[in-house]
Structure 1
Amino acid sequence: MIGRYAKLNVYQEIFKSSDFYRVAGGAFLIPVALLTGMVSNTGLVASLSLRDLVLIVSVALNGLPIIVDAVKGAMAREVNVDELVSIAIIACMLTGNYLEAAVVSAIMVVGALIEEAVSDSARHAIEELVEMTPATATLSRDGGEVQVKVDSIRAGDLLVVRSGETIAVDGVIRQGATSVDEAAITGESIPVSRRQGDEVFAGTTCVDGFITVEAVRVGEDSTFGKIVQMIQAAESSKTRSARIVDEYAKWFTPVILASAVLALLVTGEISRAITVLIVGCPCSFLLAGPVTTVAAISRAAKEGVLVKGGGFLETMAGADALYFDKTGTLTKGEPAVVEILPEGDRRPEDLLSMAAALETGSAHPLAHAILAKANALGCSVPVAREIQSEVGRGVFGRVGDARVDVVSSDARGETGLTTVEVRVDGELWGYLGMDDEARPEAREVIRAVEAKGLTDVRILSGDRGPAVRRLADQVGISRWHAGCKPHEKLGLIDAREGSGLIFVGDGVNDAPALKAADTGIAMGLRGSDVALETADIVLMNDRLETLPFLVDLSRRMSRTIKANIALSFGINLVAVLLGFAGVLTPILGAVAHNIGSILVVGLAASLRYAK
């Protein structure tokens, strides 16, 4: 009952719930009882006044649920913070202290509601996710449109999505074009253009336009569904600190019971023993970890970062090493022409035009790079014919009467660029150098994480040495390993000694490394299944600049958990001593207990607003 906020996957508006009305009703009966005055014979129970009966009803409303939950917890042999308060309420009732029993019950449950409201604030971003997917969608069926429940949609169904509507499934656009707000998936606030053949995801919003989407993944199988499942699972996971707290909490009940008995034996005052039972309840101690973890996960979710458990953030807080994959992680994952080197008096535009002519219509990434550069420079691209390609070598064809060869070359391999040479009728016209460009933010991110104490920063790549060296120089990393196969990356991670290692990869060929690292972080790849399932943390927006923020958030979470444990332990200890000494009455003890719990929850919830 008191720990009701611990049901982390249950979202409700606290002050509209039935619990709130019951608690408010029970609390309202206390002043009613005080105003009633003494009546010697109610006609119901001769020994009780009307005032006492009203107070007993108040206890039944607010105190009985606490006692019931305590019994359930004891029967299940679970750590339960309700036993001590239950014993105190029962002791008050048996000794005729109905007013104290009613006030203590009311204060405890009102405090629990306040704690729950603050806890809900801590996980507000997660609650928004749960409520984001629509309940119904419009299907295109038999030439018309029909409204159906989302859970009845199956793969292959065609959905009609209009401007302002939320997309209910993962799918592919079969007709139309739109701008899509993907903030729920990537954390990016700027809408992106999507057209026929592009993927769209559940939970994202059609900003404008009109599209028909073929459902591919629905419900819990959608990217959005998996995100919600993983966040809810993460809420229930426990950090190392929280597990330690749980172990110590098992000793609280017998220690506090013994203290209450001692207070009764030494002072002979039952009220002191009752106060010790109330203030000794370890609610704030048990709250220290879970609420802080939920707040941190919620804060990360606002930045488009999926954290699968608070334990991964806690591990990240102690890391001193950060290893990166190269392609798609530190680079854009898209090759681009960065050098045009014509031979003799040839113009760069002529060289590029001839190469682009043969690459027109090719699906190869290097062909896309050449065509993109030609378009960017405004080159006139002639029509090629008799085009043939040879895997691993290049493309051959004719432009006009001339034979053109665009083939791979090792002539400038020392540069680290992927180089192709262009020959026309056997004569060398020049070279095109292509590279997978570094992410523009990469260098600043490396500086930031090194400034935070992650001094062992490396690149582990399967690419050639010159290419890895070139990238390392661009982003400011001095240590790198080239030509690494997946098992070799794994070996480098296993061989490393230190306080903790973070590996950042693309979630595909880096799966072993992501699992072996103390904390594996995957680039989201627009929510790929591999990224979601392999890593401990997923950057759904592929933004490297989120890494320094995550390091700070993990350390702040760890500090907050420790501070909350110390604060709650200190408050409990002082309150028990004051209760033993008679300074605190049962009612004041209940107030002090809830103030401590609310302070702990409030400090934890502040993580949601971390910059």
Structure 2
Amino acid sequence: MELSMIGRHSGLHVYRELFRSRDFLKLLVGAGIIPVALLIDATSLSGLPAMSLGSILLIVSIAINGLPIVMEAGRGLMARKVNVDELVSIAIIACLVTGNYLEGALVSAIMVFGSLIEEAVSDSARNSIRALMEVTPETALREVDGREVVTSVRDVKKGDVLVIRAGDTIPVDGVVLEGKTSVNEASITGESIPVIKASDDAVYAGTACVDGFIRIRADRVGEDSTIGRIVQMVEAAERQKTESAKIVDKYAAWFTPAILLIAVLTYVATRDVTRSITVLIVGCPCSFLLASPVSTVAAIGRAAKSGILVKGGKYLENLATATGFFFDKTGTITKGEPEVVAIRPVLGRSEDEVLCLAAAVETGSLHPLGVAIVDRARAMGNVVVPAREVCTEVGRGICGQVQGARVEIVASETAEESGATTVDVLVDGALAGTISLRDNPRETAAETMRELRAVGVRDLVILSGDKPLPVGNIAERVGISQFHAAQKPDQKLERIKSYDQGKTVYIGDGINDAPALKAASTGIAMGLRGSDVALETADIVLLGDRLDQLPFLVRLARRMSGIIKIGILLSFAINFLAIVAGSAGLLTPILGALTHNLGAIIVVSLAASIRFARER
């Protein structure tokens, strides 16, 4: 049989439906009948001497609030799903059979009210995720035959030209064709400082145009946009179970039969059906089952608020106990914005010629070194004609055909004393020149390493394909003592797999780090530099490209794991003590229902509090 929480605890994805007028109206009507029934309880109906009008009203109250619980339990049994509502259902039926109508009515009302409160608190954990869903506008201003036409975003197609003015929210992913503006990308990156966007710059759905005017070409719309994919991935992450949740589910499958057995033994020992009813009520492990998923949703939502995409709670669990953090160098520890500092031609070639050959092959490359070479060539006024038959040679470099010659850009065997990175430009296998580039560490890199050590991370290691001198230079500047240079992708993979001191985390730019990202217990990709690859490959994506968020992420992961453990232990303690008290006659069914729901609300509130975690 499959364990499930159906009915009022079907799943966190239905919590958005809470607090609708119908739910509260039914609860209020059912609960409102109870005091009326008590006031007229002494009035009997002719022909029904054994049942007063008050008793009939109490049964009606049970039908309004208790019958849905019983029906959901029945559906669960028919679907062969063990449903914890079965315990309350049996208790309600027992109240009807034994004539304890008041207890049955009150228990039904209290359980429904408590479940609504639990669900409302749980739903608050999704506020950040809900905010993501609401950032994209419903309409867009599209250019049609020279006219501006207001159209639904659903009708926007790839290639359409849209007009964006100050104050507008950009409805699709696209490229700026004309104009200049400042764009607030906080909805994606968590960073509220506006970014200047001009011709050929990429813009993203859900970001806000602060000033100016731009015309953009739509590239990705709806669910295909960056924000659309983020929302899909976050919602998928909610449905993933943490290891803690899997363990809870395993043991929770025994709860219903165990509580039923305790209730039967209580009746056999005491001959008091009221005690057995109380045991059934307090034995429901609702908070026990909700502690992990609510904590997970709250943590994922809090991360999303800071521009961090987490694809599942299990990755946060791994991060909470990880002892080895492995970093790529370029674009991760460094800014990923290298500059060409020297060009050294040979064989009578000029600097411009060497630079243009390299830029032709690197055109379209996402690697920071390639981008820097192309930018330098264009800045010097050169016309760059893209190479043909371009291919990447893993662990070596990139090559292509330029004017009939095979041009290769490969890591140089010669190291510079300055620590700059040098690449060789080969034409038909002969050296045509070298290009030296320097990339500085991020301003926050050194402080991030200090904070990671402060929170107890044991090993910080750089794995880079660059030469030892530049890698060592960067490692020294950011305070990392362990580094491995000239690492090919398979060597990075082996370094991570061979780490035996605990769980591992790999942080890379998401462009050429796929094997390492997958090999680590948790793979973290940096920002939008390679958004397509990063979003698909990594377990966690720092959309704001902020390395300094790593310590916050570790603290958030540990807080989530700690609260899950506290919630499970607290739930177990409350259930155990309540069962003992119910069996001993210290709790009535009504007090049992109050105790059960109070405990559940405390546990769920504790879990939902994760969303208030601060970055600093």
Counterpart residue number, 1:403: none
| Cα pair distance change 1:12/1:46, threshold 3 Å | farther
Query: CA–CA distance in 2 between the matches of 1:356 and 1:606?
Result: 59
Cross-structure match for 2:267: 264
Equivalent residue number for residue 469 of structure 1? 472
The aligned counterpart of 2:481 is 478
Paired with 1:158 and 1:31, the residues of 2 have a C-alpha distance of 65
Provide the C-alpha distance between the structure 1 equivalents of 2:588 and 2:509, rounded to a whole number of angstroms.
Answer: 60
What SS is found at the alignment partner of 1:328? helix
Q: Structure 2 CA distance, aligned partners of 1:598 and 1:5? A: 13
In structure 1, the partner of 2:157 is 154
Whichever residue aligns with residue 146 of structure 2, its letter is G
- Residue 126 of structure 2 is aligned to residue 102 of structure 1: no
In the TM superposition, what are the counterparts of 1:122-521 in structure 2 within 5 Å? 122-336=125-339, 365-366=371-372, 413-418=416-421, 434-521=437-524
In the alignment, is the contact (CA less than 8 A) between 1:2 and 1:109 conserved in 2?
no
1:78 paired residue number: 81
Give 1:599 deviation, angstroms.
0.8
Cα drift, residue 527 of structure 1: 6.7
Measured against aligned partners, the alpha-carbon deviations of 1:319-365 in whole angstroms (never above 9, x if no partner) come to: 1000001111111111136799xxxxxxxxxxxxx9899989x8875
The equivalent position to 2:30 in structure 1, one of 26, 35, 55, is: 26
Q: Which of 32, 50, 53 is the matching residue for 1:50?
A: 53
How far 1:420 moved relative to its partner?
10
SS in 2 for 1:605: helix
1:544 is matched with which residue?
547
Query: In the alignment, which residue of structure 2 is the partner of 1:424?
Result: none
Q: Distance in 2 between the 1:356 and 1:457 partners?
A: 40
The residue that corresponds to 1:427 in the other structure is none
In 2: Cα distance, 1:494 partner to 1:235 partner = 28
Q: Which whole-Å deviations, capped at 9, do the CAs of 1:11-66 have from their partners, x for residues lacking one?
A: 537334422222222222222222333321178x6653322222222212211111
Displacement of 1:302 after TM fit? 1.5
How far apart, in 2, do the equivalents of 1:3 and 1:295 lie?
A: 22
The verdict on how the C-alpha distance between 1:475 and 1:274 changes in structure 2, with shifts beyond 3 A counting, is same
- Number of residue equivalences: 565
Counterpart-to-counterpart distance in 2, 1:322 and 1:532: 20
Structure 1 residue 541: deviation in Å? 0.4
**CA distance in structure 2 between the partners assigned to 1:192 and 1:33 by the alignment:** 65
- The residue number in structure 2 matching 1:576 is 579
Q: Which residue is equivalent to 2:588?
A: 585
Q: Is the 8 A contact 1:321 1:500 kept in 2?
A: yes
- How far is 1:160 from its partner? 2.3
Which whole-Å deviations, capped at 9, do the CAs of 1:547-594 have from their partners, x for residues lacking one? 011111111111111111110000000000000011100000000000
Partner SS state of residue 440, structure 1: coil
Indicate conservation of the 8 Å contact 1:2/1:108, yes or no: no
Equivalent position of 1:12 in the other structure: 16
2: CA distance, partners of 1:435 / 1:287: 51
Segment drifting more, 33-42 vs 503-512: 33-42
**Cα separation, partners in 2 of 1:267 and 1:75, compared to 1, 3 Å:** same
One-letter identity of the residue aligned with 1:86: S
Checking the alignment, whether the CA contact within 8 Å between 1:158 and 1:213 is kept in structure 2 is yes
Q: 1:536 to 1:168 in 2, by over 3 A?
A: same
Shift of 1:475: 0.9
User: How has the CA–CA distance of structure 1 residues 485 and 212 changed in structure 2, closer, same or farther, with 3 Å as cutoff?
Assistant: same
CA contact (8 A) 2:415 2:467 kept: no
Equivalence for 2:115: 112
When residues 193 and 36 of structure 1 are mapped into structure 2, their CA distance, relative to the original with a 3 A threshold, is farther
In structure 2, how many angstroms separate the alpha carbons of the residues matched to 1:388 and 1:94? 87
Distance 2:168 2:15 in 1: 24
- For 1:171 and 1:370, locate their aligned partners in 2 and report how far apart those are by CA, in whole Å: 25
Give secondary structure in 1 for the equivalent of 2:500.
Answer: coil
Q: 1:357 to 1:499 in 2, by over 3 A?
A: closer
Q: 1:526 touches 1:541 (CA, 8 Å); kept in 2?
A: no
Partner of 2:39: 35
The secondary structure found in structure 1 opposite 2:81 is: coil
Q: 1:505 to 1:411 in 2, by over 3 A?
A: closer
Structure 1: how far apart are the matches of 2:612 and 2:354? 54
Report deviation, 1:525: 2.1
Distance in 2 (alpha carbons) for counterparts of 1:286 and 1:388: 61
Which segment drifts farther, 52-61 or 516-525? 52-61
Measured at CA, do residues 336 and 6 of structure 1 come closer, stay the same or move farther in structure 2, by a change above 3 Å?
A: farther
Alpha-carbon displacement from aligned partner over 1:467-492 (angstroms, at most 9, x marks no partner) = 11111111111111111111111111
3-state SS in 1 of match to 2:142:
strand
User: Residue 403 of structure 2 corresponds to which residue in structure 1?
Assistant: none
**8 Å CA contact 2:509, 2:530 repeated in 1:** no
Determine the C-alpha separation between the residues in 2 that align with 1:484 and 1:459: 10
Q: Distance in 1 between matches of 2:352 and 2:25?
A: 73
**Counterpart Cα distance in 1 of 2:34 and 2:63:** 12
Instruction: Look up the SS of the partner of 1:148 in the other structure.
Output: strand
Q: Percent identical across equivalent pairs?
A: 58
Instruction: Please give the alpha-carbon distance, in whole angstroms, between the structure 2 residues aligned to 1:52 and 1:448.
Output: 66
The secondary structure found in structure 2 opposite 1:215 is strand
Give SS of 1:437's match.
coil
**Hey, what's the Cα distance between the residues in 1 that align with 2:585 and 2:382?**
99
Cα distance change of structure 1 residues 166 and 13 upon mapping to structure 2, 3 Å threshold: farther
Tell me whether 1:567 sits opposite 2:579 in the alignment: no
Structure 1 CA distance for aligned equivalents of residues 212 and 382 of structure 2 = 39
C-alpha change, 1:202 and 1:79, in structure 2 (3 Å) is: farther
**After the TM superposition, which parts of structure 1 deviate over 6 Å for at least 4 consecutive aligned residues?**
337-340, 354-360, 368-372, 384-392, 408-412
Question: Post-superposition shift, 1:290?
Answer: 0.7
Q: TM-score, normalised by structure 1?
A: 0.86
Partner of 1:88: 91
Of the structure 1 ranges 582-591 and 173-182, higher mean CA displacement relative to structure 2 is found in 173-182
Distance in 1, Cα, partners of 2:498 & 2:189: 34
For 2:29 and 2:592, the matched residues in 1 are separated by 22
1:609 paired residue number: 612
Distance 1:542 1:25 in 2: 53
What is the distance in 2 between the residues matched to 1:385 and 1:284?
67
- How far has the Cα of 1:409 moved from its partner? 9.7
Counterparts in 2 of 1:132 and 1:320: CA distance versus 1, 3 Å:
same
Specify whether residues 367 and 309 from structure 1 end up closer, same or farther in structure 2 by C-alpha distance, changes over 3 A only. Answer: closer
